[in-house]
Amino acid sequence: MQAHGDDLTAPAGGSAGAGGAAPARSQRMLPEERRRILIEKATEYFSEAGFDGGTRELARRMGITQPLIYRYFASKDDLVNEVYRVVYLEKWKDDWARDLCRREVALSARLLDFYADYTTTVFERRWMRIFFFAGLRGLDINTRYIERVRAQILVPICLEARASFGFESARPVTEAEMALVWVMHGAIFYQGIRSVIYGLPDPSDPGHAARVAVAAYLAEAPRTIAAALG
């Protein structure tokens, strides 16, 4: 992709004439396509440089002018929010919460099916690196995403554990229950850190960590729930 003046353009095909190759032509893109490309390039840039990287350097790498970025995004924060939407929200699956609550399936099977799909989605280079850069920078990307995980994944798991082990209570999920489910979730999430962030070889059995973490959670959950509910 090249810059022509102050715009993004895409090359259009040309045919060779009798004297050789025809000169390359440029085809203007629709604003929606330009915006999509800017978000894509910004995602890659922030995953490499972190969020201390500025839009001036992003523009330089793209071969465009910095004002062009601000033609499509009101501020750097606006651009970061779009990166969050594309990398995190668009990859989120509403089916996860629904399938976790299918009580005709054993809870252990539901958890393993969920984590097999979830880790396939999030154990991706840009996803993981942006998540950690955002955390180090103190951006609310992490806060927003973790709250989504808590509310839509971990709270339902806790409630399903209560039902699975015969505890009937309308009380909100307690801190003790939440701490336990975070231990399971964190142990599984660490496999992505190990692979993507540390660059260590993938385990020969990628599902092993999830099976161990889920089994440990289900073994401890009855005692934790009983104590929490008094």
SS3 per-residue string spanning 134-155? HHHHCCHHHHHHHHHHHHHHHH
Q: What fold characterizes domain 3-16+25-82?
A: Tetracycline Repressor; domain 2 (1.10.357)
**Residue 154 CB burial class (10 angstroms; 0-12, 13-18, ≥19):** buried
Cβ atoms < 10 Å from Cβ of 201: 7
Hey, what are 143's tokens? 């806060």
Q: What is the spatial distance between Cα 51 and Cα 76, in angstroms, rounded to a whole number?
A: 10
β-bridge pairing 7-12 and 3-4: antiparallel
Q: Which DSSP string do the residues of 14-31 spell out, in sequence order?
A: ---BTTBPPPPEEEEPPH
The residue type of 54 is G
Q: What is the spatial distance between Cα 143 and Cα 140, in angstroms, rounded to a whole number?
A: 5
| pLDDT per residue rounded down to tens, the chain (230 residues) | 444 445 565 444 444 444 444 444 445 778 899 999 999 999 999 999 999 999 999 999 999 999 999 999 999 999 999 999 999 999 999 999 999 999 999 999 999 999 999 999 999 999 999 999 999 988 888 899 999 999 999 999 999 999 999 998 999 999 999 999 999 999 999 999 999 999 999 888 989 999 999 999 999 999 999 999 99
- Residue 202: C-alpha distances to residues 128, 190, 209, 210 (Å): 15, 12, 11, 14
The residue type of 37 is I
